[in-house]
Structure 1
Amino acid sequence: MYISHIQISNFRSFGENINIDFNEGINVIIGHNNAGKSNLLKALGLVFDCNSHKKLETDDFNKYIGIEKLREKPPKIEISITIKESENEDKYSDDLATIGECLTKIDSPYEAKLTYEFFLPEKEIENYKRIMLMLSGKDVNFYWKAIEDNFIRKYIYKIYCGDPEYKTEVDSEVLRKFDFQFLDAIRDVERDLCTGKNALLKEILDFFIDYDIKNDSQKDKNEKINEINSKKKQFSSDAGGLIKQLQGRMKSGKDEMLKYANKTGASFDKSILDFDGNVLDTQLYSALQLIVKYESDIKIPVCNNGLGYNNLIFISLLLAKMQKDASGEYLGSNSKVFPILAIEEPEAHLHPAMQYKFLKFLRENNHENARQIFITTHSPNITAAVELDEIIVLSSNNHKLDIGYPGKVFNISNQDDRKSKSYIRRFLDVTKSDMLFAKGIILVEGIAEQLLIPVFAKCLKINLEDCHISVINVGGRYFQHYLKLFNTKREGAIDKKVACITDLDPERKCKTEKNAKFKKCYPFELNVDTDKYDYKACSNNFITEFEDKIKNGHISDNIKYFTQIIGEGKTLEYEIILSNPNCKDLITNSISNAEKLEKLSEYFNEDKDLSCMLDELSNSGEDRRIKDSIINSSWDDDKKKRKHLIAAKYLNSVGKGENAMELSDILENNLKNKKFDFKPPEYIKKAIEWIIK
């Protein structure tokens, strides 16, 4: 069996009827802060954790219940959990017997339900309505204060089995068969590690002592018992010798020490104080201390370890305890049937490599000690290390919770979807998995856009980090794979805004050349010589396909693309100068032809005519091409031609990555010192303003 589904109503950050599906093995729950990850684990604990405090407080209610609803009836928290039959059910013979009384569907795969309710008893409801009707005003806090003052102490909780409509309370024995172990993010593990005095360590030692005998499949139960009892007897005999030695060493000192008892009258009726004793093996657990032993034979107490290592050690001990608690041979009918491990932020105190190793361990040992694992995390390292099918994304916007399942958006019967899923699985590294945590995403083609767009936003007085917007470099025009994750027309998609920033990259193809292919061209070359060339103002297939999907209703409106003006745009670098043709400060150290570009920029500022600027071009093949094309362009606007001339020359002089880094530094410094005016390209400005809106 496994926990397949949870429905939560009115608990903390969860509103009415929030439904979340789970996987049979590992569930990695991610999302931005306050999305509800910790509250989800708490909701599971309210049903399964026998040690948790199940009576709640007023602040445990979702506070966005309207006044009218509060007047109508008292708020109620409800957490309903569905348990389903596993694919490998035959391995676990006790599963069906454990939740038999909770079944809601008998046919295979069976289903069962457990429902936690926190509610005001029926006899109090009339008084509740009367007091609520006496209140007036539009401040909902007054109504919650009335609940706090008059009714919260009268609230009760129940856990029902089967269909919650029948209100059949679950037998406590059923709940005791579930072993819910929860490690919260703020945990003090040192107190649980140092010595055998600790209850956790003592329990584990008691289970694993003589483990070679207990785990010997060649011996029957009676043989094991007899052999262990023989070892206990031998230990007591050996320990008896130590007790005698101790008594001998105490003989003279004992008489001196206990004489005061006789003088004070503590010894009476011919009684005499003395020392005696025996030592059981279990009593010596407290003498054991966990240590770290190095190759050099240096030993240090485990409590001297760093917090990260101690967290890993503690989790390993906890898994050992879960193994002990699930042992029917050791605990008999008191053994647990379904161990559940819930870990909040395992990345706490762990560096990235350790995070990855820890997660790998959990994945490889799933079903051994913990039948189902729930992990909440903010770590892109952990997210990048798991399968898409294991990830659940919680995102909250204006108190509305959306749940995404990245693995479900791909239809495995569709070849294109299989390709996309494989691509995402391969390329969802630490930097790209960050997009699953963001509130909004800007997808870009390359490193230049990734470096510059955050700075462009600052020039617009917008901080993308403050807005929780991630800029993700997809390394080319591979948007279609990523967009499937966020296209809400698909089941399981993650509902967040995605802006795709892409280039037009106009092209032309020579008609007279055999087997000619389309090659890049400048915007001012378009349609100049239609007898010789075929032209494309936009060679970007993504844009064409995106437009078709919009027309056919196959893509949701939370996704948009932004590009340059058709017939005028080319690339980011080209557009930067089109928007700032008079800015010599954008000419970085790595740019070739720097002097020539500065001269062209100076001529533009002085409003010199086009011919004067064209004279500054060299006789190289590319410069002659620019010159001839500008002269023969169909454009009438002389200023427009001059701007495109500088943009073309700039584009041919930059190396994308190095120039982008230098330009980013220049713009960052300019934000502080304000030496020149800079205008981000219009299409990028629109993308940034849309994504934060």
Structure 2
Amino acid sequence: MYISGIKLENYRNFKNKAVSFNDGINVIIGHNNAGKTNLIKALALVLDSNGKKRLDIHDFNKSISLDELRCAPPKIRISVTIKQSDNEDLNSDDLVTVANWLTKLDEPYEAVLTYEFHLPEKETEKYIATISQSTDKDKAWRIIQQEFLRLYIFKIWGGNVVNQTTADSESLQKFDFQFLDAIRDVERDMLSGRNTLLRDVLDFFMDYDIKSDSKRTEIEKLEEIKLKKQSFSDTADMLLSHLSKRMLLGKEQILSYAKDTGASFNKAKPNFEGSISDVELFSALKLIVEYETGIKIPATHNGLGYNNLIFMSLLLSKMQVNSDGSYLGSNAKVFPVLAIEEPEAHLHPAMQYQFLKFLLKNKEDKKVRQIFVTTHSTHITSSVSLDEMICLHNEIGETSVGYPAKVFKDNEKSKKYVQRFLDATKSDMLFAQNVILVEGIAEQLLLPILARYLGISLEEKHIAVVNVGGRYFEHFLYLFNTNNPYAIHKKIACITDRDPERKKKAKGASYGKCYPYEYGIEGAKYEYKENPSFTLYPRGGHSNIAIFSQDETEGKTFEYDLILHNPSLDLLLTNSMKNQDEIKKLMEVYKRGGELLEYERILRKSEENDRVIESMHLNTSWESNQKSKAFIATRYLNSVGKGENALELASALTDNLYKIDTTDFQNFTVPNYIKEAITWIVQ
């Protein structure tokens, strides 16, 4: 069996939401305050027999309206559905454990556990009489907290909740729900033998060579362990006898004080006596780390990350102890569940990946039945499959749930593409509040800086700029297209180049890049086309996805548009660029409003420049100013190297920002389509 889903009503940031789970590992991701921790704690309210069950006023979802509060006392309801696993043995303890909670008898069977935190029926009349006069919602909540919260009770129902059948505690105890939260004190919890966790683990694994020997019968195992325990006890008695002899005179001196104070009376006097078992001796043990060199240090001297790994391995060992029927008999757990909040805490990326493999192996070895992990780590998400991810997103208090694998139900090709290329950098799109997808490194580096020229901080708005490495938006946009019920709900702006192309009307001809002023001017000779992305996701066709590109007439690429909007700004000329002197001369011509012939004369002789000049002459629809800027933009585009130029440009534009409000500041115009994209994404 496995936990197939949970439904949350009026619990924290979940007004009314259902979440589906996988039979195995579930990696729950999302931005801060999306509800990841709340989801795990909701599971614990139902399944953790040792956990706190009473809630406080802040555990209620506060979006409940005043009218709703007036009509009935608020209640929290959390329902967990347990479903039959594939290839499950129906003779196992699983079905017996949930038999009284079944809501579906046919295979695959389903059972439901429901936690409710509510005001008893007998208090309802008084509640309505008190709250009905409230005109302010905050005041109504204060009244509930002060006068009624102490009267609230909790129940865990088994089966259909309308039957109000209390789940029996014996069956609930069969679930071993271990929750390791993000704020943990591993030294307190594991590093001394006095701690229950370490003692239980050591006790279970003591004499493990005997316990795990399949050649011995259970009776033989018990007999041999009994002999070892007796042998230890005899040895311990001898040690205690030696101690008593060493303390003989000292004991008489200590006990003499008892006689003087009157502690000895009625022919009775204090003395020292005792025995020690192998289990009790564990309190003397401390966890150490031994290096290959032979050096031994206490685990308290380790880094936090290393101790976290040790602690989690001990926790999994403890779960193995809890579920061992031959060791605990009828007290053994049937269904061990491990929930870890932010396992990446204090771990560098390589150890995060190693730890994830460790968890998966424990699942395969059936030491734990189901795993829930909440994370902010892009390294973890890039290491798991899309099928194992659950994405939470919270927008203005409304929580939505996305399932990355399910959005590709009818498109296996795109699913494989995204799975392959969703590395640690691209995984950022799953965590951010909103996302801007770009084609290349230049846009990725420069967009946050261009936003600052508009007075906007993308970082403060939790907007990620993700480079998809080309014109591959379509594959990733399946994740966010809210026309699909499984999509992740967040705004996505795509910034793509216009990229006009043409090909000769001849058999076997192929498309090649062309300039904006060449587009459409020789219809008898060429066929033309542009970036097809606009037709896939037309502007206004989706509530949360929009595509932005350069001007339809004058646009070409990102670099081309930068200079097109700043034709005389030599700040954009970087050290790695070619033809700098030539471009500066073109800029000077533009500043003084020179003739088009002057631009032609400055261009050095080349086949490409001849093509540019010829195309300018053929284009009779463009005005002189359009052609002047196009001359500079073309020469600029043909002189830059993508990566190095972007780094230098980012540095130059950043330095210029620090000079704002000084005479050294140079005015820079953000291209229109970039301005539109940034304005839209932050709305």
Kindly indicate whether the alpha-carbon contact (under 8 Å) linking 1:23 and 1:390 is maintained by their aligned counterparts in 2: yes
Per-residue deviation at 1:91?
8.2
Query: What is the distance in 2 between the residues matched to 1:568 and 1:87?
Result: 59
Matched to 2:460, the amino acid is D
Q: Distance in 2 between matches of 1:657 and 1:474?
A: 15
CA distance in 1, matches of 2:49, 2:519: 73
Asked if 1:676 corresponds to 2:666, the answer is yes
**Which amino acid is the alignment partner of residue 2 of structure 1?**
Y
Alignment of 1:582 onto 2:602: no
Q: How many residues end up aligned between the 2 structures?
A: 678
Match for 2:383 among 379, 382, 385?
385
Map of 1:527 onto structure 2:
520
Contact 2:562–2:670 (8 Å) recurs in 1: yes
Once the two structures are superposed, what CA deviation does each residue of 1:550-592 show, in whole Å capped at 9, x if it has no partner? Answer: 89xxx74311211122232111111111111121221111111
SS class of match (1:431): coil
Q: Structure 2 CA distance, aligned partners of 1:464 and 1:288?
A: 52
Deviation at 1:274, TM superposition (A): 4.1
1:670 aligned partner, one-letter code: N
Counterpart-to-counterpart distance in 2, 1:92 and 1:258: 63
Name 2:548's counterpart in structure 1: 562
Does structure 2 conserve the Cα–Cα contact (< 8 Å) formed by 1:455 and 1:668?
yes
Match of 1:501 in 2: 495
Q: Structure 1 residue 86 and structure 2 residue 85: aligned?
A: yes
Partner SS, residue 465 of structure 2? strand
Q: 1:434 to 1:71 in 2, by over 3 A?
A: same
Offset at residue 206 of structure 1 (A): 1.4
Partner of 2:251: 254
1:369 to 362, 367, 370: 367
How is 1:228-247 mapped onto 2 (pairs within 5 angstroms)?
228-247=225-244
Equivalent runs, 1:269-308 vs 2, <5 Å: 269-271=266-268, 273-308=270-305
**C-alpha deviations, 1:623-661, integer Å up to 9, x for none?**
222122212222341111101011111111111111111
Aligned positions of 1:21-60 closer than 5 A: 21-60=20-59
Report the Cα distance in structure 2 between the residues aligned to 1:195 and 1:429, rounded to whole angstroms: 40
Instruction: Tell me if structure 2 keeps the 8 A contact 1:497–1:559.
Output: yes
SS in structure 1 of the partner of residue 426 of structure 2: helix
Report the residue type matching 1:164 in the other structure.
V
SS at 2:125's partner residue?
Answer: helix
Counterparts of 1:437 and 1:3, CA distance in 2:
25
Q: Aligned-pair distance for 1:264?
A: 3.8
Q: What is aligned with 1:10? A: 10
1:135 corresponds to which letter in structure 2? S
Q: Would you say 1:471 and 2:465 are equivalent positions?
A: yes
How far did 1:123 drift?
A: 1.1
- Matched residue SS, 1:369: coil
String of CA shifts for 1:399-424, please: whole Å, max 9, x gaps.
1111000011112xx4xx11111111
Return the alpha-carbon distance in structure 2 between the equivalents of residues 344 and 638 of structure 1: 63
Secondary structure of 2:165's counterpart equals: coil
Q: Secondary structure at the match of 1:87?
A: coil
Q: For the Cα contact (< 8 Å) 1:240–1:278, is it kept in 2?
A: yes
Q: Secondary structure at the match of 2:593?
A: coil
Moved more, 375-384 or 518-527: 518-527
Q: For residue 266 of structure 1, give the secondary structure of its aligned residue in structure 2.
A: coil
- Pairing partner for 2:508 from 511, 515, 518: 515
Q: Does 1:215 align with 2:212?
A: yes
Residue 143 of structure 1: how far off its partner (Å) = 0.7
Does the 8 A contact of 1:439 with 1:468 survive in 2?
Answer: yes
The answer to whether the aligner puts 1:99 opposite 2:113 as a matched pair is no
After TM superposition, give the deviation of residue 500 of structure 1 in Å.
1.4
Give me the whole-angstrom Cα distance separating, in 2, the residues matched to 1:70 and 1:546: 43
Unaligned residue ranges in structure 1 (runs of 5+): none
1:677, distance to aligned residue in structure 2 (A):
1.2
Flag the 1:590–1:87 CA change in 2: closer, same or farther, 3 A: same
Q: CA deviation at 1:198?
A: 1.0
Question: Distance in 1 between the 2:115 and 2:673 partners?
Answer: 52
Which digits, 9 at most, give the CA deviation of each residue in 1:583-626, with x for residues without a partner?
A: 12211111111111111111111111211222211112222221
CA distance in 1, matches of 2:576, 2:357: 44
Equivalent of 1:397 in 391, 395, 398: 395
Amino acid in structure 2 at the alignment position of 1:267: S
Residue 623 (structure 1) aligns with = 609
- Are the counterparts in 2 of residues 504 and 537 from structure 1 also a CA contact under 8 Å? no
Partner of 2:528: 536
Query: Separation in 1 of the partners of 2:7 and 2:266?
Result: 70
The Cα of 1:271 is off from its aligned counterpart by 4.4
| Equivalences for residues 598-637 of structure 1 within 5 A | 598-637=584-623
SS in 1 for 2:11: coil
What amino acid does structure 1 have at the position aligned with 2:651? D
Is residue 404–residue 492 contact of structure 1 (8 Å, CA) maintained in 2? yes
C-alpha distance in structure 2 between counterparts of 1:261 and 1:508, whole Å: 107
How does 1:404-443 map onto structure 2 within 5 Å? 404-411=402-409, 414=410, 417-443=411-437
After TM superposition, the score normalised by the length of structure 2 is 0.96
Q: Which residue in the other structure is 2:310 paired with?
A: 313
Q: Secondary structure at the match of 2:626?
A: helix
After superposition, give the CA deviation of every residue in 1:239-293 in whole Å (9 maximum; x if it has no partner). Answer: 2221222222223333333333344443344445543333221221111111100
Instruction: State the 1:120 CA deviation.
Output: 0.8
- Give 3-state SS (helix, strand or coil) of 2:89's partner: helix
In 2, distance between residues paired with 1:642 and 1:495?
44
Amino acid at match of 2:528: K
The corresponding residue for 2:681 is 691
The 5-angstrom pairing of residues 192-203 of structure 1 reads 192-203=189-200
Q: Which moved more, 1:168-177 or 1:239-248?
A: 239-248
Give a deviation string over 1:467-520, Cα, whole Å, max 9, x none.
Answer: 1111111111111110111112224111211111111222222346x6332221
Amino acid at match of 1:682: N
Residue 22 of structure 1: CA displacement? 0.5
| 2:505–2:527 Cα contact (<8 Å) kept | no
The answer on whether the counterparts of 2:437 and 2:467 sit within 8 Å (CA) in structure 1 is: yes
Instruction: Quote the Cα distance in structure 2 between the aligned partners of 1:627 and 1:96.
Output: 81
For 2:289, what is the secondary structure of its paired residue? Answer: strand
Letter in structure 2 aligned against 1:387: S
Contact preservation (8 Å) 2:24, 2:371: yes
Q: Deviations over 1:452-473 (max 9, x none)?
A: 1111111111111111111111
Judge which range, 452-461 or 427-436, deviates more. 452-461
**2:442 maps to what in 1?**
448
Quick check: 239-248 or 494-503, which moved more?
239-248
The answer to whether structure 1 residue 127 and structure 2 residue 126 are counterparts is yes
Q: Which moved further from structure 2: 19-28 or 586-595?
A: 586-595
Cα distance in 1, alignment partners of residues 91 and 645 from structure 2: 62
Alignment of 1:52-71 (within 5 A): 52-71=51-70
2:164 is the counterpart of 1:167: yes
Distance 1:591 1:59 in 2: 59
Instruction: Report the CA distance between 1:546 and its aligned residue.
Output: 4.0
For 2:230, the aligned partner's letter is: K
Deviations 1:154-195 (A, max 9, x none): 111111010001111111111111111111111111012222
Give the C-alpha shift of residue 530 in structure 1: 3.7
Which amino acid in structure 1 is aligned with residue 14 of structure 2? F
Q: Which moved more, 1:498-507 or 1:30-39?
A: 498-507
* Equivalent in 124, 135, 140 of residue 137 of structure 2: 140
- Map Cα deviations across residues 92-119 of structure 1 (whole Å, 9 max, x no partner): 7000000100000001000000001111
Q: Deviations over 1:350-382 (max 9, x none)?
A: 111111111111112215221111111111111
